[in-house]
Structure 1
Amino acid sequence: MYQINNIVYSGGYSLADKIYPRWTTFVKTILNPQLEKEKSFVAFQKGYRKDVEMCFGILQAHWAIIRGIARMFDEEVLRSIMMTCIILHNMIVEDEYDYDVPNMFELDPMNSN
Structure 2
Amino acid sequence: MYWVNERKYDGPYYLANFIYPRWSTFVKTVPRPQSAKEKHFASCQEGCLKDVERCFGIFQSRWAIVMGAARMFDVKLLRSIMMTCIILHNMIVEDEYDYDAVDEYELDSMNNSKTQIYCAHDATEDP
Instruction: Give the TM-score normalised by the residue count of structure 2.
Output: 0.74
How is 1:85-104 mapped onto 2 (pairs within 5 angstroms)? 85-103=85-103
Q: CA deviation at 1:10?
A: 2.7
Equivalence map 1:76-91=2 (5 Å): 76-91=76-91
* Equivalent position of 1:23 in the other structure: 23
Q: How does 1:14-53 map to 2 (within 5 A)?
A: 14-53=14-53
For the aligned residue pairs, the C-alpha RMSD in angstroms reads 2.3
Runs of 5+ unmatched residues, structure 1: 108-113
> Where does residue 58 of structure 1 map in the other structure?
58
Counterpart residue identity of residue 34, structure 1: Q
CA distance in 1, matches of 2:106, 2:7: 51
Q: Whole-Å Cα distance in 2 between the matches of residues 99 and 53 of structure 1?
A: 28
TM-score (norm 1): 0.82
Among all aligned residue pairs of Structure 1 and Structure 2, give the percentage whose two residues are the same amino acid: 64
Offset at 1:8? 4.6
**SS, match of residue 70 in structure 2:** coil
Of 27-36 and 44-53, deviating more is 27-36
Considering fraction of residues, name the structure with more strand. Answer: 2
List alignment gaps of at least 5 residues for structure 2.
108-127
Instruction: Name the count of aligned residue pairs.
Output: 108
Report which stretch shifted further, 12-21 or 97-106: 97-106
